[in-house]
């Protein structure tokens, strides 16, 4: 679009351009929906604080591509297409994974999710890694709908039935065919009646149930929204005649399809602010979707209702809710007596907002998240912490702010489902500025806290037991939503019970993982000690 190189499989410079363009498009989708900048690109003065994500279009020979946290990079492989069954490829043709939109978008999403929720790489239940995979597929899938030519062609071909298996709803088609499987790598469609079952453990397979659920919700909403167009076009019968559809009708349907897809993608990304910091379950994602969308568009429930129904059809239920009505799926309000989040940090908050407002005036709108680190604070003062249990992590947050937030968590530990006696890690903080479609400016503060018990490391296969809480506050610091995964030493009867149930479930997950892995009895001692931690190795997960 900006006079780049023409598409060419044989020009390695085009390969680089392709990877860069799709990566940036994916990052921009996150930035817009989240109302703050992900800064994976490492621009401006922030370049020194977080290293730039590195992209290697021709990293290795092999039918694979993966994100590596250790290398802070995405590595794309290349391989020869299957000689016997190459699909639409030439037998033995070199296939570059860096030329696949879906592979690039999927891997970039892994990197983004890892930045937003670093503890989602710990398999504390069967949904955690499956969520990583499913979410990465969702972003790749819904980005398909932003290419108008593809979309119009598809709608003409399928006569507006979006559930027809075509490249639009398939993922990594070339990769799938080139590896000799005779089909695309994955699809957004599931067979009618497919349910999430306990023995579906492989992360991509389990994740595809999540993809099918979100796509189902999208499809219902899309069909409702084009129904009037179809009726107008058919004189009220709703039955399309045979032959090609009128190009004007195709254009209008494509517009609706792409608008709805963009709203679903925004809704999914925005839901991240409403996810717990640890131990995510598919049901948590549904609650986060509903809450995030309700906050922005309270009077417009059709998409939320469709999502709830699509999740229900696939047997994805949140735990601890009394019904599937919208109001019981919204995350709960905090217990009375939880202090406002800005009480200890009120001056710092004023700084954040003041500078954000200034940037409106000077015209150069910058993401407010850029102001969590004040210009006077040098990058070396970026918050780095070593937990008493030796865990190192770092945050895009100045140290003073982080100390104050840790104090807040300590004082309110019981209400947050945490142990007042244990050290609390601040795992994230940012202000969010969003403009709702009705023009309303929504200001929120999102903070994440976590605690860990690493004495259970060995028993849990190399990861600690963690509890955590996400706190969503309005601009004045009043806590509006509290999303908790209680720690097992938390006080309070109900909280303690939930926490112990979580620990029992995590132990059960380890047992099931061991039982279903034929290698378990033969693992050398050191491999056995980290077998659950090792599940999150994407280079192993994406073996082609
Ligand atoms: Zn993946």
Tokens of 321: 């809710």
Tell me what pLDDT residue 59 has.
93
Percent of the chain residues topping a pLDDT of 90: 47
206 near 126, Cβ under 8 Å?
Answer: yes
For residue 88, name the pLDDT band (cuts at 50, 70, 90).
confident
Q: What DSSP line would sit under 439-463, residue for residue?
A: S-EEEEEEEEEEEEEGGGTTTTTS-
Distance (Å, rounded) from C-alpha 216 to C-alpha 314?
10
- Residue 5 in this model has a pLDDT that exceeds 90: no
Average pLDDT over residues 7-24: 90
Q: Residue 469 C-alpha to ligand 1 middle, in angstroms?
A: 26
Q: In Å, what is the CA distance from 119 to each residue of 67, 259, 277, 450, 537?
A: 15, 32, 7, 10, 13
Percent of the chain residues topping a pLDDT of 70: 84
Q: Residue 129 C-alpha to ligand 1 middle, in angstroms?
A: 9
Residue with tokens 């299957």: 82
Q: What DSSP line would sit under 326-359, residue for residue?
A: HHHHSPPPPPTTPPPTTGGGHHHHHHHHHHHHHH
Tell me what pLDDT residue 372 has.
35
Tell me what pLDDT residue 394 has.
61
Q: Residue 397 C-alpha to ligand 1 middle, in angstroms?
A: 28
Average pLDDT over residues 34-60: 66
Tell me what pLDDT residue 503 has.
95
For 400, phi then psi, to 5°, come to -60, -45
Distance (Å, rounded) from C-alpha 346 to C-alpha 443?
15
- Residue 380 in this model has a pLDDT that exceeds 50: no
Q: Which residues are CB-contacts of 511 (< 8 A; sequence separation ≥ 6)?
A: none
For 64, phi then psi, to 5°, come to -165, 160
Q: Which residues are CB-contacts of 494 (< 8 A; sequence separation ≥ 6)?
A: none
In terms of Cβ atoms closer than 10 Å to its own Cβ (0-12, 13-18, 19+), residue 10 is: exposed
Average pLDDT over residues 68-88: 90
| Closest C-alpha to 445, from 319, 539, 326, 350 | 350
Q: Residue 229 C-alpha to ligand 1 middle, in angstroms?
A: 38
Distance (Å, rounded) from C-alpha 332 to C-alpha 323?
14
For residue 382, name the pLDDT band (cuts at 50, 70, 90).
very low
For residue 442, name the pLDDT band (cuts at 50, 70, 90).
confident
End-to-end CA distance of the chain: 32
Q: Residue 350 C-alpha to ligand 1 middle, in angstroms?
A: 40
- Residue 46 in this model has a pLDDT that exceeds 90: no
Q: 98-107, 224-233, 322-331, 425-434 — which is least confidently predicted?
A: 425-434
Distance (Å, rounded) from C-alpha 318 to C-alpha 280?
11
| Closest C-alpha to 122, from 233, 15, 3, 279 | 279
Q: 120-124, 201-205, 315-319, 337-341 — which is least confidently predicted?
A: 337-341
Q: Residue 106 C-alpha to ligand 1 middle, in angstroms?
A: 6
Tokens of 152: 């119009």
Question: Which range, 168-177, 437-446, 497-506, has the best average confidence (pLDDT)?
Answer: 497-506
Q: Residue 427 C-alpha to ligand 1 middle, in angstroms?
A: 23
Q: 56-65, 198-207, 348-357, 443-452 — which is least confidently predicted?
A: 348-357
- Residue 450 in this model has a pLDDT that exceeds 90: yes
Tell me what pLDDT residue 401 has.
73
Tell me what pLDDT residue 494 has.
81
Tell me what pLDDT residue 389 has.
58
- Residue 231 in this model has a pLDDT that exceeds 90: yes
Q: Residue 175 C-alpha to ligand 1 middle, in angstroms?
A: 14
For residue 110, name the pLDDT band (cuts at 50, 70, 90).
very high
Q: What DSSP line would sit under 155-187, residue for residue?
A: HHHHTT-TTS-SGGGEESHHHHHHTTSSS-SEE
Give pLDDT tens digits for 206-220: 999 999 999 999 999
Q: Residue 416 C-alpha to ligand 1 middle, in angstroms?
A: 32
Average pLDDT over residues 358-375: 40
- Residue 56 in this model has a pLDDT that exceeds 90: yes
User: Is the pLDDT higher at 147 or at 330?
Assistant: 330
For residue 74, name the pLDDT band (cuts at 50, 70, 90).
very high
Distance (Å, rounded) from C-alpha 315 to C-alpha 318?
10
- Residue 22 in this model has a pLDDT that exceeds 70: yes
Give pLDDT tens digits for 299-347: 889 999 999 999 999 999 998 888 999 999 999 988 887 888 866 666 6
Average pLDDT over residues 148-162: 89
Tell me what pLDDT residue 20 has.
94
Taking the CB of residue 455, how many other CB atoms lie within 10 A of it? Answer: 10
Summary mean pLDDT of the chain: 84
Q: Residue 80 C-alpha to ligand 1 middle, in angstroms?
A: 21
- Residue 62 in this model has a pLDDT that exceeds 80: yes
Q: Residue 517 C-alpha to ligand 1 middle, in angstroms?
A: 20
Q: Residue 110 C-alpha to ligand 1 middle, in angstroms?
A: 7
User: Is the pLDDT higher at 405 or at 512?
Assistant: 512
SS3 content of the chain, % helix, strand, coil (to 5): 50, 15, 35
Tell me what pLDDT residue 367 has.
43
Average pLDDT over residues 90-115: 92
Q: Residue 422 C-alpha to ligand 1 middle, in angstroms?
A: 34
Q: Residue 515 C-alpha to ligand 1 middle, in angstroms?
A: 24
Q: 197-211, 222-236, 350-364, 527-541 — which is least confidently predicted?
A: 350-364
Tokens of 340: 């406002």
């Amino acid at each position: 679009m900006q006079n780049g190189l023409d598409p060419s499989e044989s020009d390695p410079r085009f390969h680089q351009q392709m990877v860069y363009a799709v990566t940036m498009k994916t990052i921009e989708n996150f930035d817009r929906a989240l109302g703050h900048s992900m800064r994976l690109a490492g621009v401006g003065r922030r370049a020194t604080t977080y290293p730039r994500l590195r992209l290697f279009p021709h990293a290795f020979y092999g039918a694979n591509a993966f994100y590596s946290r250790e290398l802070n990079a995405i590595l794309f492989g290349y391989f020869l297409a299957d000689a016997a069954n190459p699909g639409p490829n030439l037998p033995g043709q070199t296939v570059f994974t860096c030329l696949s939109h879906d592979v690039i978008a999927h891997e970039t999403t892994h990197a983004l999710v890892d930045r937003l929720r670093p503890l989602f790489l710990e398999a504390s239940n069967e949904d955690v890694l499956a969520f990583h995979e499913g979410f990465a597929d969702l972003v790749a899938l819904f980005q398909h709908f932003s290419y108008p030519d593809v979309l119009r062609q598809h709608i003409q071909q399928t006569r507006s039935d979006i559930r027809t298996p075509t490249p639009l709803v398939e993922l990594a088609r070339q990769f799938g065919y080139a590896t000799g499987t005779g089909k695309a790598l994955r699809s957004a469609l599931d067979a009618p009646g497919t349910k999430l079952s306990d023995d579906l453990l492989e992360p991509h397979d389990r994740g595809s149930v999540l993809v099918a659920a979100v796509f189902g919700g999208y499809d219902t909403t899309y069909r409702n929204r084009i129904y009037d167009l179809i009726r107008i076009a058919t004189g009220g019968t709703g039955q399309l005649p045979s032959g090609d559809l009128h190009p004007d009708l195709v254009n209008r349907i494509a517009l609706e399809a792409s608008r709805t897809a963009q709203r679903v993608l925004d809704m999914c990304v925005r839901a991240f602010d409403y996810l717990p910091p640890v131990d995510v379950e598919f049901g948590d994602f549904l609650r986060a979707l509903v809450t995030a969308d309700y906050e922005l568009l309270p009077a417009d429930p059709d998409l939320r209702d469709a999502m709830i129904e699509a999740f229900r059809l696939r047997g994805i239920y949140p735990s601890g809710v009394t019904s599937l009505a919208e109001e019981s799926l919204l995350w709960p309000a905090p217990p009375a007596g939880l202090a406002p989040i800005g009480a200890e940090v009120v001056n710092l908050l004023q700084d954040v907002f003041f500078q954000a407002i200034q940037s409106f005036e000077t015209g150069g709108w910058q993401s407010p998240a850029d102001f969590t680190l004040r210009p006077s604070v040098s990058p070396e003062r970026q918050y780095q912490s070593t937990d008493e249990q030796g865990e190192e992590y770092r945050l895009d947050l100045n140290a003073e702010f982080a100390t104050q937030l840790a104090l807040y968590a300590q004082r309110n530990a019981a209400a947050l489902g945490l142990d007042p006696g244990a050290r609390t890690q601040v795992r994230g903080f940012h202000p969010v500025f969003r403009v709702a479609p009705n023009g309303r400016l929504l200001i929120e503060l999102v903070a994440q806290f976590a605690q860990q018990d690493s004495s259970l490391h060995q028993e849990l296969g190399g990861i600690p037991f963690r509890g955590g809480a996400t706190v969503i506050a309005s601009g004045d610091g009043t806590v509006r939503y509290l999303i908790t995964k209680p720690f097992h030493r938390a006080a309070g009867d109900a909280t303690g019970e939930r926490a112990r149930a979580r620990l029992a479930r995590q132990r059960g997950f380890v047992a099931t993982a061991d039982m279903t892995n034929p290698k378990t009895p033969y693992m050398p001692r050191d491999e056995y000690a980290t077998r659950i931690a090792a599940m999150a190795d994407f280079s192993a997960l994406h073996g082609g």
